[in-house]
Structure 1
Amino acid sequence: MAKLLYNLGSWVYKRPKRVILFWLAIIAVSIGLIVSNGINFKGDMTIPGTKSEKAGQVLQNATGQTKEYGTIRLIFKVGDGKTIKDPSVMKAINKTIDKIQKNDKSVKSILSPYMGRTISKSGKIAYADITYKTEADKVSKESIDNVKTCIEASRNAGVQTELGGSVTLSKTEVGGTSELISIIAAFIVLAFTLGSLRAAGLPIITAIIGLVVGLMGIMVSTAFVDMSALSLSLASMVGLAVGIDYALFIISRYRQNVSEGYDLKEAAALSVGTAGSAVLFAGVTVIIALCGLALVGVPFLGVMGEVAAAMVFVVVMVSLTAVPACLSLAGHHISPKKKKQQNVVSASKEKNKQSNLWGRIVTKYPIITIALVLALTASIGYSAMDLELGLPDNGMMQKESTERKGYDIMSEGFGEGVNGSLVVVMDASKAGNNSFKAMQETAGKIKGLTDIASITPARPTKDKNIGMVMVTPKTGPNDKETKDLVQAIRDKSADTEKNNKVELMVTGRTAVNIDTADKLGQAIPKFAIVVLGLALVLMILVFRSILVPIKAVVGFAMTLVATLGFDVLTMQKGNFADLLGIPKAGPILCFIPIIVIGILFGLAMDYEVFLVSRIREQYSKTGNAKEAILSGMKSSGLVVAAAGLIMTIVFASFASQTDVNIKSMGIPMAFGVLFDAFVVRMTFVPAIMSLLGKSAWYMPKWLNRILPKFDIEGEALNKERDIA
């Protein structure tokens, strides 16, 4: 592989303009396809086969309704001295409703608060539901904009009017000042690491090329594949981070080769053959981890993983081709400055001493270092035991948003449970002619359960065998009590089936979210075991050792525990909420742990490979374990630290966004990368290896013979050159 990549780097270096034009041509073609086919993000976060999904199917079959229509809820509130039924208020509300229905033919119906009697006991708050002719994710932007425009009529009349419902009103956006700030910050880190402003610009340029190519490809694919806008956000987050890091690894190796006396062309080819091999392996590892999300059995999560994996693939290809092309075009402008010849020996010793300062501390006090790292991991990771999963509701959005204001007004007027109503489906097909009576008796038994604020009378469908009641809990959609109520209703089914011949099922948006969170929660241990097992196998193949891979897996497990613990402390329990811009503490977004496991696994293995492979390379030359650690820390430590810092900055930029879904991904990823790069790889790993000494590289001879060999640092290429 190293020889092949060496030849690739040499070929690209001779034809830089062709390579750059190739990637620009792909961007141009993609833009043309996007203009032709448009961008169509669609898809929801549901899981087929859950109890709520089956209940919804039963209800659809009984009613003949083949789809769940999208809704936008108009929420009204009047101030002191007025009520919803005041003539001026009624006029303003009715005018708004009439205007919405008149201007939009996609509206199926609107149930006003006066017809639907959806007015609070205080008379100050009311709501009206707009039902559309299509599903929630297919309601057009024009329809949403129409509602936002029309409600100005009631607002101008002094009626506070906010919005809610199943239709997504605030679209997920990618790009903005936060990403620009992250790129600027990354440039500063690169300039410090490489010691050159020109050299610092190259990783940014190539990363942007890879990011744009990947994003264009994803947008084109939306015409053929169902995916949510969150897939684009995740891909953008990962693509920008690894794009800068992979380019940094190749460019830093190129500059090192130049400083060792190689001519520019040979230095570029060698950097692609050596660091490029590590980049390729690291990228493949990340891709495998992301594609592994499909093993969870959750369609939307599998698509997110595949989209992000496609982005990483593009970034790797751009790194292996566009980087050497840019190096060729840059020529001597990014070469490291020549050192003064005088006092070379003393300067070299001083540099060596300073470069290995952290490595010397860690290896001199390994037991103390390991104890401190374990204590830090335990103190942060302990909170992971309190992990609760859910899907964000409007109550977790920014306080300034109309959805959050509407949620709070509804809670004020009707109780928080109104935001998480449950649909209880009753199958009385076995009750015969007494089906309706059986439904009424069953509804009475449901009413006796705790944590129910209200329940509607039993309402049968046309065939009389299936009925339903609407249950309003006392608590919000993401509260533990609401989850317990859903389970209590389902548990009650055993009694009603026996005594009333009625089976109980629960569906509705809240129940679907609860089931989705439960399914993903059950998948976390299985997926973690698969990933840890994969990490162990890959590290054994790479490092030809037993203990080093075990150490790598333990380190990843520490990162994972600490990251989930930090996520619980911040997103779930609300610590540092103001600092992190968290509008309201609540359950962890249900797919975040799976995403974190998949992505952090790939990135953790990246840092492990780039750091430990240099240690192994030095050990194979000298046979001195401690010297190999210090040499590896000197050669790759600064670059790994810079890469970790850059990736943390990129993820933190996404964490600063207002969208709760993107923030929920950015916060744990930023912390996880920071913890893994600096606490685990730069501290725990060298300390453990210092204790293990030469035994770290023990490998049974019989196992070493039968395992395939992966030369990720280009050792065979270096030996070939030495012989020549």
Structure 2
Amino acid sequence: MSALLGRLGGWCARHGRLVLALWVLAAGLLTAVTMIYGSPVSNNVAIPGTDAQRAHELMREGFGPGYDAGGTVQLVLYTEEGTLLSDGREKAVGDALARIREVPHVVEAQTPYRLGGMASNQRIGMITVRLQGQDGVKLGETAQALVAAAAPATEAGIEVVPAGSGSPADKEIKTGTSEIIGVAVALLVLLFAFGTLVAALIPVFTALISLGVGLGVIGLLGHVVDVPKSASIMATMIGLGVGIDYALFLLSRHRRMLADGVPVHDSVRRTVASSGGAVLFAGGTVVIALSALTLAGFPLLRTLGWITGISVVCAVLTSITLVPALLGLLGHRVNALRLPLVGRVAGRHGPATGWAALGNWVAGRPWRVLTVTVVALAALAAPAAALKLGPLDQGYSDRGTSERRAYELVSVGFGPGANGPLIVVAELDQKIADTTPADPVVQDLTRRLQRTDGVAHVSPHKVNENGRSVLVQVISEYAPSDPRALDVVSRVRAIRVPGAHVHVGGEVAGLADAGDRIMGRTPLVVAVVVLLSALLLLLAFRAPLVAIKAALMNLVSLGTAFGALAVVFSMGVGSRLVGMDPPYSPDGSFVQTLFFSVPIDTYVPLMLFAVLFGLSMDYEVFLLTSVRQAYTRTGDNRAAVAEGLGSTGRVITSAALIMVAVFTAFVAYPDPLVKVFGVGLAVAIAVDATIIRGFLVPATMVLLGRLNWWIPRWLDRILPNISIEGHDEEPAGAVPEKELSATGRR
């Protein structure tokens, strides 16, 4: 494989202008096409085979407009002075209703003066607008059109706010400031790492081209598949980080070779043959981890996984093609526009670095380093036991947004449970008519619902036009994000009515089913990711113990990430620091507003696991590649560990700083989901690149000695020879890798 990559890198270096033109053209065309035709997004939260999905399917059949795919929009009305019943305001609301009914796709607009449409204080009301033939993806645009149509009410001093359904993740997340901050900090780190402006700009330029192509492809895919609204932001976070990192690793190797006097094109070829293989395998682990999300049984998570993987594939492709092309075009000018005092390049035989000294220090006291490191990592991971999982509702949206405002008004006027009503649909054994009084089966169902613990209100029932099912809206006493709301779902589902089969849908029920499905599939996803990643490392290094150890190390860094999430969000210690606003609280107590917990959606830990496992493997691959090359040359395990850490420490640290900067910049996003990912990714990468790669990995490798590279003879015979390290840098007389015996010795 290294020979093939070397030939590819050499060809790109010789045809740099062509390769550069093709990539720039691809990025430009894809960006232009998505700007012209748009990038459709949709959070399709359907979970086949669940009770909530069955309820939604029944709800869309024969209950009239608004219950089908057209959807429903709620407009919350609020007057600060007086009530909505005053003559002037009631007339203004009537005029607004008339205009709302003229908006395209509107088939019904219910007055707030109906039973259950107005709060007891008469200052908060709700207009329910039912739509037909409306694209569900465009509900946000329709809501704004409805608000504009309600201008008569607004002019009369009535606040009109569209109530958002779903979680904060349902909003379309627009990119901008955080990406600029991340790129700026990355450029600053690269300037200090390389010491030249030209070299620093290469990884940034490559990552931006990769990101343009990836986002363009994702945007076009939105026309044929359901692309989650959070896919673009996840692709941007991951693509920007790995795109810069992969180019950084290649560029660092190339500059060291130039410092050793290797000709430019020969250096590019050898760089891609060695470091390019590491990039390919590192990217492969990220893609494998993300692809394993298809086993989670949650379509939204599955799509989010493989869509995000597209940005990683683009980053790998630009690294092994565009970077060599730029290096071939620039030649020795890659070191142009040098900054004073920073970024000096040492060849392989240059003076020892601080990282090499650290490697020697760790190698001299491996047991003590291992003990202290394990204790420190255990302390960082311990809070993960307090991680609080649950639905994330609009009450945690950014303060000042219409979603947050509507949520709080509904909570005050109608109770917190009105922000996430339960849709109860009962399939009937026999056909019934919509009569007054209601059929005995319906009466029995209504009574049981009203007596259910945690139910605040039961709306009048609605019979399906074919008489074979009945729909009832149930308001819980608890907010959608309150764990007790899930208990209400369970109790309603436990209702048994002769002649009826009860199904529960709605936001809370859907999230409950998603959580159960994901929790049940999590062990399978984790096992597949760990085993496939370990197998990939086994193919790369032909060392079973190294592969197993690397997988375990990645799980350790995941523990620290979950520990940080528990401290910041579940314990609420840093919720204010990351820009979260406290949710609505009836008592408004000081402690609750200073330290408040934020639930983490059930699917987030699994998504974080997949992303972090892949990213952590990147640094493991690059470190092991360098150690393996040193061991192949010298046969001295302890010296190889010190040399490997010395040659990669600065590069890995720079790469980690860039990733941490990019992920931290995204914490500034108002969306809680993005904040969770930003904090988790930043902490895990920081710990992984310092404590784990600087201390834990070297200490364990020193203790294992030559067992690091031991492989049974039978396994050595059946494994394909696709080593990623490349051997064109080895000095004359170095013993080839195949002469390492089954004991790991020459």
Bigger shift: residues 229-238 or 38-47: 38-47
CA contact (8 A) 1:541 1:710 kept: yes
Find the counterpart in structure 2 of residue 689 from structure 1.
701
CA contact (8 A) 1:39 1:222 kept: yes
Residues 1:582 and 2:585 are matched in the alignment: no
SS in 2 for 1:18: helix
Matches within 5 A, 1:310-389: 310-335=310-335, 351-352=351-352, 354-389=354-389
Quote the offset at 1:535 in angstroms: 2.4
Residues 1:275 and 2:275 are matched in the alignment: yes
CA contact (8 A) 1:452 1:471 kept: yes
Find the counterpart in structure 1 of residue 570 from structure 2.
572
Q: Distance in 2 between matches of 1:537 and 1:458?
A: 56
Quote the offset at 1:49 in angstroms: 1.7
Matches within 5 A, 1:145-224: 145-151=144-150, 153-166=152-165, 171-224=171-224
Bigger shift: residues 711-720 or 241-250: 711-720
Find the counterpart in structure 2 of residue 644 from structure 1.
656
Write the letter of the residue equivalent to 1:236: T
CA contact (8 A) 2:167 2:393 kept: no
Residues 1:442 and 2:440 are matched in the alignment: no
2:622 maps to which of 601, 610, 624: 610
SS in 2 for 1:579: coil
Residues 1:554 and 2:565 are matched in the alignment: no
Find the counterpart in structure 2 of residue 137 from structure 1.
136
Residues 1:94 and 2:94 are matched in the alignment: yes
Instruction: Flag as ranges the 4+ runs of structure 1 deviating above 6 A.
Output: 167-170, 346-350, 431-435, 719-724
Q: Distance in 2 between matches of 1:481 and 1:142?
A: 33
Residues 1:653 and 2:665 are matched in the alignment: yes
Write the letter of the residue equivalent to 1:453: A
Quote the offset at 1:115 in angstroms: 2.9
Residues 1:77 and 2:75 are matched in the alignment: no
Q: Distance in 2 between matches of 1:218 and 1:111?
A: 39
Residues 1:710 and 2:722 are matched in the alignment: yes
Q: Distance in 1 between matches of 2:105 and 2:466?
A: 29
Quote the offset at 1:588 in angstroms: 1.1
CA contact (8 A) 1:198 1:334 kept: yes
Quote the offset at 1:143 in angstroms: 2.7
Q: Distance in 1 between matches of 2:39 and 2:544?
A: 49
Cα 1:442–1:319 shift into 2, 3 Å: same
Bigger shift: residues 254-263 or 461-470: 461-470
Q: Distance in 2 between matches of 1:591 and 1:489?
A: 24
Q: Distance in 1 between matches of 2:134 and 2:393?
A: 18
Write the letter of the residue equivalent to 1:440: Q
Q: Distance in 1 between matches of 2:244 and 2:145?
A: 42
Find the counterpart in structure 1 of residue 495 from structure 2.
492
Q: Distance in 2 between matches of 1:53 and 1:418?
A: 21
Q: For 1:208-229, what per-residue CA distance to the aligned partner results, in whole angstroms no more than 9, with x for missing partners?
A: 1111111122222222222122
Cα 1:403–1:551 shift into 2, 3 Å: same
Q: Distance in 2 between matches of 1:481 and 1:689?
A: 48
Quote the offset at 1:631 in angstroms: 0.3
Bigger shift: residues 93-102 or 419-428: 93-102
Find the counterpart in structure 1 of residue 534 from structure 2.
536
Q: Distance in 2 between matches of 1:5 and 1:199?
A: 22
Q: Give ranges in structure 2 of 5+ residues lacking alignment.
A: 339-345, 583-596, 737-746
1:506 maps to which of 504, 507, 515: 504
When the two chains are superposed, the root-mean-square deviation of aligned CA atoms in Å is: 2.9
SS in 2 for 1:580: coil
Q: Distance in 1 between matches of 2:167 and 2:138?
A: 9
Quote the offset at 1:126 in angstroms: 1.4
Q: For 1:50-95, what per-residue CA distance to the aligned partner results, in whole angstroms no more than 9, with x for missing partners?
A: 1111122234345377824322221122225x12212233233333
Cα 1:114–1:590 shift into 2, 3 Å: same
SS in 2 for 1:139: helix
CA contact (8 A) 1:71 1:167 kept: no
Cα 1:510–1:366 shift into 2, 3 Å: same
CA contact (8 A) 1:139 1:167 kept: no
CA contact (8 A) 2:44 2:299 kept: no
Find the counterpart in structure 1 of residue 643 from structure 2.
631
CA contact (8 A) 1:255 1:336 kept: no
Residues 1:7 and 2:7 are matched in the alignment: yes
Find the counterpart in structure 2 of residue 416 from structure 1.
416
Find the counterpart in structure 1 of residue 341 from structure 2.
none
Cα 1:176–1:41 shift into 2, 3 Å: same
Bigger shift: residues 51-60 or 634-643: 51-60
Quote the offset at 1:151 in angstroms: 4.8
SS in 2 for 1:581: coil
Write the letter of the residue equivalent to 1:489: V
Write the letter of the residue equivalent to 1:118: G
Q: Distance in 2 between matches of 1:74 and 1:458?
A: 22
SS in 2 for 1:108: strand
Quote the offset at 1:609 in angstroms: 0.6
Cα 1:362–1:124 shift into 2, 3 Å: farther
Quote the offset at 1:243 in angstroms: 0.6
Quote the offset at 1:686 in angstroms: 1.1
Quote the offset at 1:22 in angstroms: 1.0
CA contact (8 A) 1:37 1:223 kept: no
SS in 1 for 2:657: helix
Cα 1:723–1:260 shift into 2, 3 Å: farther
Q: Distance in 1 between matches of 2:521 and 2:51?
A: 16
What is the count of residue pairs matched by the alignment?
Answer: 711
Q: Distance in 2 between matches of 1:367 and 1:653?
A: 37
Q: Give ranges in structure 1 of 5+ residues lacking alignment.
A: 339-345
Write the letter of the residue equivalent to 2:568: T
Quote the offset at 1:179 in angstroms: 0.7
Bigger shift: residues 429-438 or 15-24: 429-438
Q: Distance in 1 between matches of 2:354 and 2:164?
A: 60
Cα 1:347–1:84 shift into 2, 3 Å: closer
CA contact (8 A) 2:285 2:614 kept: yes
Q: Distance in 1 between matches of 2:56 and 2:40?
A: 26
Write the letter of the residue equivalent to 1:383: P
Write the letter of the residue equivalent to 2:191: A
CA contact (8 A) 1:369 1:684 kept: yes
Q: For 1:382-421, what per-residue CA distance to the aligned partner results, in whole angstroms no more than 9, with x for missing partners?
A: 3333444444321110011111011111111121111121
Residue identity (%): 30
Q: Distance in 2 between matches of 1:719 and 1:48?
A: 59
Q: Distance in 2 between matches of 1:108 and 1:400?
A: 31
Cα 1:591–1:221 shift into 2, 3 Å: same
Find the counterpart in structure 2 of residue 462 from structure 1.
465
Cα 1:93–1:683 shift into 2, 3 Å: farther
Write the letter of the residue equivalent to 1:213: V
CA contact (8 A) 1:77 1:124 kept: yes
Find the counterpart in structure 1 of residue 741 from structure 2.
none
Q: For 1:457-514, what per-residue CA distance to the aligned partner results, in whole angstroms no more than 9, with x for missing partners?
A: 4443334442232211111112111101111121233xx3xxx333221112221122
Quote the offset at 1:25 in angstroms: 2.3
Cα 1:540–1:458 shift into 2, 3 Å: same
1:473 maps to which of 468, 476, 479: 476
SS in 1 for 2:101: helix
TM-score, normalised relative to structure 2: 0.89
SS in 2 for 1:17: helix
Find the counterpart in structure 2 of residue 255 from structure 1.
255
SS in 2 for 1:708: coil
Write the letter of the residue equivalent to 2:453: T
Quote the offset at 1:430 in angstroms: 5.5
Bigger shift: residues 478-487 or 573-582: 573-582
Higher helix share: 1
Q: Distance in 1 between matches of 2:133 and 2:319?
A: 44
Find the counterpart in structure 2 of residue 54 from structure 1.
54
Q: Distance in 2 between matches of 1:347 and 1:240?
A: 29
Cα 1:359–1:379 shift into 2, 3 Å: same
Find the counterpart in structure 2 of residue 343 from structure 1.
none
TM-score, normalised relative to structure 1: 0.91
Residues 1:527 and 2:539 are matched in the alignment: no
SS in 2 for 1:425: strand
CA contact (8 A) 1:163 1:402 kept: yes
Find the counterpart in structure 1 of residue 124 from structure 2.
125
Q: Distance in 2 between matches of 1:251 and 1:638?
A: 13
Q: Distance in 2 between matches of 1:156 and 1:437?
A: 48
